[in-house]
Amino acid sequence: MIKLAIYGKGGIGKSTLSSNLSSAFAKKGLTVLQIGCDPKADSTSLLLGGKRLTTVLELVRAGKPFTLEDMVTMGSMGVLCVEAGGPVPGLGCAGRGIITALEALEEKGAYEVYKPDVVIYDVLGDVVCGGFTMPMRKGYADKVYIVTSGENMSIYAAANIAMAVENFKTRDYAQLGGIILNRRNVRDEDAKADTLAADFSTEVIARIDRSELFERCEAEHKPMVELFPESKEAGQLLAAAERILN
């Protein structure tokens, strides 16, 4: 089983990328479990036709017994979807939803029942403390992939996340798997991404072009490899999935 966590600056396209990678893995015949670790609970929207899932935290707060099937919904191309959820805005700890969700999935035997080949944790923004480090901890993700563009704030956030991953090495947390460049067509962005990768002794494992096809996919609530399977962008996503597998 390959277990990876996707981190990056808020708004950089982590959820879009996570859903498209999930679909790319599924297209290769793999069983994929995507776990949204953002209080907004919109990580899996692209895989569910825009539908919003009942989150694990909502099930827990209801105070009634619930099953594994209540937490996990099958989405586009057979991808298994879970949303951790979070507190009412301004109240409680957002990271608690991640901890609760991952513990509940383990308790209900999700990994034994579904036997996923790939698990993707889509984690909120560049927060790398408290519950937001949960997917990095031993037994969860093995590798962290950081999404960035060439914009300065995105590079800065990516560097902070990479430093956190480095600092957590001593705790036997996940290792840095690489950088994913989500192009925004800014000046020197490939060079900036390469420099960032070199600074942390890793590689840019994928370069995804900015394209209006992604906007069309968002409007249709379908992943690229399903809606535009022959496109250059779908090819880039499939190549990224292959690189991660290898």
**Candidate list 27, 38, 126, 222, residue with the active-site label:** 126
Specify whether 126 is catalytic: yes
Contact 159, 194 (CB under 8 A): no
Residue 129 has pLDDT above 70, yes or no: no
Residue 117 has pLDDT above 70, yes or no: yes
Place of tokens 């080949």: 117
More confident residue, 137 or 130: 137
**Candidate list 40, 70, 117, 143, residue with the active-site label:** 40
pLDDT per position as a tens digit, 57-86: 899 889 899 999 999 999 999 999 999 987
User: Residue 69 and residue 236: Cα distance in Å, rounded?
Assistant: 33
User: Residue 182 and residue 89: Cα distance in Å, rounded?
Assistant: 29
pLDDT, the chain, mean: 91
pLDDT of residue 136: 85
**Candidate list 3, 14, 27, 222, residue with the active-site label:** 14
Specify whether 9 is catalytic: yes
pLDDT per position as a tens digit, 11-64: 899 999 999 999 999 999 999 999 998 888 889 999 999 999 999 989 988 989
Which of 37-41, 116-120, 207-211, 226-230 is predicted with the least confidence, judged by mean pLDDT? Answer: 37-41
Specify whether 28 is catalytic: no
pLDDT band at 6 (very low <50, low <70, confident <90, very high): very high
User: Residue 103 and residue 57: Cα distance in Å, rounded?
Assistant: 11
Percent of the chain with pLDDT over 90: 74
User: Residue 221 and residue 217: Cα distance in Å, rounded?
Assistant: 6
Domains contained in the chain, number: 1
pLDDT band at 106 (very low <50, low <70, confident <90, very high): very high
User: Residue 89 and residue 71: Cα distance in Å, rounded?
Assistant: 22
- Domain of 48, in residue numbers: 2-245
pLDDT of residue 236: 97
* Mean pLDDT computed over 145-157: 95
User: Residue 48 and residue 62: Cα distance in Å, rounded?
Assistant: 23
| DSSP labels, 41-62 | --TTGGGTTTPPPPPHHHHHHT
* Mean pLDDT computed over 141-166: 94
Residue 93 has pLDDT above 70, yes or no: no
pLDDT of residue 86: 73
Q: Is the pTM of this model over 0.85?
A: yes
**Candidate list 9, 27, 108, 222, residue with the active-site label:** 9
- Say which CATH number the domain at 200 has: 3.40.50.300
